[in-house]
Chains A and B, each alone.
Chain A
Amino acid sequence: MIEDSKHKPPRWAEKLLSWYCKPELLEDLQGDLNEYFQRNVKAKGVKRAKLIYIIDVFKFFRLYTIRKPKFVNLLIQWIMIGSYIKTSGRNIVRNKLFSSINIIGLAVSMSVGLLLISMLSDIYSYDKFNEHHARIYRVLSRFEFNGDKSNNFMATTSIRAGQAIDEKLTGQEAVAIFRAGFEGDMSFDDKALPLRGFWANENLFSVFTFPLIEGDPNTALKEPFSVVLTEESAMKLFGSTDVVGKILYRNKDKAYTVTGVMKDVPRFSHMRFQMLGSLSTRAILLENEPREQAWDNIWQTWVYLLIPGNVNLEQYQASLDQLSNNEGKDLKNIHIQFRLQPMDDIMLGERLGNQIGQTMGSTMAWVFTGLAFVVMLSACFNYTNLSIARSIRRYREVGVRKVIGALSRNVRTQFLFESMVISLLSLVAAFGLFLLLRPHLIGLEADMQELFVLELSPMVVVAFILFALLVGIAAGFVPALHFSHINAIQAMKNIAQIGGAKKLTGRKVLIVFQYCLSLILIIGTVLIYKQYQYYLNYDLGFSSENIINIRLQGNKAAPLKKILNEMPEVKAISTSVLLNGLNDYWGSDVKNPENPQDSSFVFANKVDENFIPLHEYQLLTGRNFIPKAAEDAREDEVIVNEALLKRFNLGDKNSALGETILVEGNELKIIGVVHEFQYGRVANQTANEVMIRYTNREAEYLNVKIESTDLVGTYDKIAAHWKKLDNVHPFEANFYDHQIEESFRGLKASIKLAGFISFLAISIASLGLLGMVVFTSEMRMREVSIRKVMGASEANLIILLGRNFVALLAISAAISLPLTYWLFRNVMQTRMVHKAPLSYLDGVIAVTAVLVLACIMISSQTWKVARTNPAEVLKSE
């Protein structure tokens, strides 16, 4: 018998049973189950017995065993709501300080939550305008060289892949292909309009829901040289949408027939365009271009599939793999791996290269959710902490309620109700803040403007209210439990004895936890800012000072160069096809002439002879390019970096001079070796092997070095000259330094956001601390007065009252400072290419600033208490 009682059935199952079972049946049932349980322990072992017990508890959940909800109870709750509202209201008014701390804290943090909700709602609305959005998949591809699977998947694939899927696979309903590059000036009569768009195949309109106002969706993009305009572009060009059959010239060159006018691309579409050109045009324009149909040309085409719901995706994936093996078998060492991505996952999905438009990315979403959660938690802690600290004042109320007949349940409901009232009041304030913050959040960065509208919809409003109620429950849960466990008799008998020191450790832990979170946020922000500064001041290996880069937008370089050279402020001008040190990448395959099998993709820039001196690139050996006058001169020289020499085993920098490499069929002689420089953005994994090629024909940018005291004035002058040459395209130019800074604008925006949220977090934590200090000081009023009468000085009293809090702050600082540095070094920086050196000084300064502020707050409150006249306090006893 003694052995029997050693094992007990799972407690939660027992509780579940007693919760749902009718009281009159309960005891019998419990006994029966227990008896069986003991039998099973002997026969089948403890584990089985417990499992059987749990199953039995669920099995007994039957109509005749379950407790019927008592109508009376519901009625009582209903009647009591009036009373709850009254007491909540009175309490809010009675403790103005505490109520306002709670409401402000909750409101501030909830406004962040509201922003998050509306952001997520926006993201969720993306692409839902498509009738078949849940069945549309995008084909991702991965470039694998020699079986190396370490590359990331790209959002793009090849044109041939799209066409091969359409022709050879049967699982899909339709295939839509977008190819980048259909853009330019579309002109009609003498009116020209620069438009952007894609080349697209004829099935596009069967996959996506883009309704046509004019034209036939089935044939609009079928014939070569067809163009479909959006309503907006058509209105701008023609002033009407009834334009099917009109002829447009693209870049004053080829003629295109308008075959359709579609409704504008909806705001919440992950791709945006102003026109679409028929993909069949490319087959004619680029007939002799071998790369056009190459299986591994996977960088500029997006392919979307409409797949019927009953198709097994695993099987479909297998047929894609099969297709890739068949089609790509001519390619040596290269394999293209495909994968399907549901369209609904695009906006919040992984970060893929070559996205078709802006995406939010899961990291950003998680970080923002995490920050919002931390701030929310902090505000809830305040509520919990202050309510429990103050609970002493309400013990009598709860005692009376219980004596009259309130059950724990009723008290719990009452306090939860109260916290929900407060959180709903906060919601009103939070909503005001939300309206105030919204434009700032959207305006934080250009990308945000692209992505978000943050408009209210009935769904969002409902979500707001539910959110507020949830916050109320989260904040009030612990206090409600605390109050409901009060013993009525004790509460009535002697109030001073309970409460008091009890649970003080719990509250201290909460304060430390809260301050730790806030400090981690602040230190983290400071460290990210340091990293940002480090990027901006990174030695790029060339000079970017006082250089204006002008995008030529299709114009020839020579005429503009001629005009600008006449300006006294202009010191030098060079041309390039892209800008180094930013997010521009371009390159081609380079072969070793000794061994044509040995080839590798090398990043490159094409420049003129002024480029290297103007940017002060350092040549380790060799010379700069010698200008060539003839426009059709053959390219025969190249300047490379040391990494390239190493890659092709061309010896050291001196012996490599005069060696040749094979680029696009040309043998290029190495005439110089350039010192290491940043080809791409400092934050990105930079291309190791880089070459600088010479051209006197191609130029995308004019790099103008100016020397002037009035930089802005010079810029304006250049802009005026541009206008005279080209009145179609707006002047697009910028200072190089500014462009480098701009390339980090995402990081800058995150710093601003993180800074703002950590500011909120620390404010909320400080509010909570203030509340606690006020409360404890008031509680010790009598003690302070007696000490004062006995001769304690004000300084003594301030130290007495404040030292506990200062100790708590010191503990939080001691935890958070090393923790943040550790996290930053081992989590954040592991993925960074150029890591900023971290100094503890920055963190210490940030922490000190916060702690000094907190100390000032603590001492000002304690000072107030210490200064009170002891006679006033003691008199009332």
Chain B
Amino acid sequence: MTALVAVDHVTRRYGDVVALDDVSLTVGPGELVGLLGPNGAGKSTLLSLVSGLRRPDAGTVRLAGRDPRDPAARVRLGTTPQETGLPGTLRVGEVVDLVAGHYPDPMSRGEVLERFGLTDLARRQTGGLSGGQRRRLAVALSLVGRPQVVLLDEPTTGLDVEARHVLWQALRDYQADGATVLVTSHYLEEIEALARRVVVIGSGRVLADDDLDAVLAMAAARRVLVEVAEADRPALAALPGVLDVRADGRRSVLLAADADAVVRSLVRSDLPFRDLEVRGASLEEAFLALTATTPGEPR
């Protein structure tokens, strides 16, 4: 089976900042891949390489076997514009036609608008649309050319729950025909809705690449806050199940996949402690925990 997207040992810098550090990723036909990671992790840079907007400093990027900077490769690609950037004077139907005119076998204007509930807005200038309507149009544009590979960068950021679910359904309908989708988000919920395989990116590296359930388990990490004597702090890190330890004032913060197990072993270890507290960890913290350990190892 040939890979539709092949990123091979790619490094990309902006001046002194390394946005992607030796990243490799292969996506086959029909895969639904979520790119998860905090802001600035390198997700958007990765998408801009796959869509041919930028070229890597080292390594190669292939789209359907070709360099994505070659327009012929991009016949198979669909991406979304930022909703704020739609040409304000063009009508909704005209923007669809403009995009459709680039592809050999595009969807009809009617079909695109129907899929995204935009039929009534066809004659409206995009400048007069609400934020949610613009977002829908932006996502609709990614499918106009019936692409085999769809790149979605934060497709529903800023939408209300209702609108978000409508968009997800439209995307899932398209996926059902066998398209490959790469979606970035820093919302776990969005990744859950659209992806089957999840790639976690942090500080420009692939930290985890696994199926959805495995990554969900990682993201369910909890924080255990506890105060121990200065000298006992290293012992905390050695407790089984602890992913990461950080100091927070007098207390130490332990990150753990299974907080109950950590508390149990803390008690059993007979370390003198006080002020114990267990809290949920944010997705961001789960990523930090992943960053702190060897890539691919935690689970």
A-B interaction: no
